[in-house]
């Protein structure tokens, strides 16, 4: 099982995902909030740990949000 960072966010950095205005941003935001709540419950001993799939989905959502923000903001993507 992957280690969960010791912060309020499942990923390092800003605890809230930036908004991109994409059609499914509400779904990504809801998955993020659900994951944060699940992590908090697990740390308090009142719920199960998030699955690797949930953590991976959150990372993919964050990467998508970052890429969309860069594209919409006119900043080039690395690579």
Alpha helices (H) along 1-79? 25-43, 52-73
Residue 78: its pLDDT value, please?
Answer: 65
pLDDT tier at 24, thresholds 50, 70, 90: confident
- CA dist., res. 69 & res. 65, Å (int): 6
Phi, psi of 50 (to 5 degrees): -65, 150
Q: What is the mean pLDDT of residues 17-27?
A: 65
Whether the pLDDT of residue 64 is over 50: the answer is yes
Delimit the domains of the chain by residue range. Answer: 25-73
Higher pLDDT: 20 or 33? It is 33
* Contact assessment for residue 36 and residue 8, using Cβ atoms and an 8 Å cutoff: yes
């Amino acid at each position: 099982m992957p280690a969960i960072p010791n912060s309020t966010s499942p990923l390092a950095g800003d605890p809230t995902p930036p908004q991109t205005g994409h059609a499914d941003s509400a779904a990504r935001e809801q998955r993020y909030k659900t994951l944060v709540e699940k992590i908090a419950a697990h740390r308090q001993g009142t719920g199960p740990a998030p699955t690797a799939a949930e953590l991976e989905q959150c990372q993919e959502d964050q990467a998508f949000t970052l890429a969309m923000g860069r594209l919409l903001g006119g900043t080039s993507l690395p690579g």
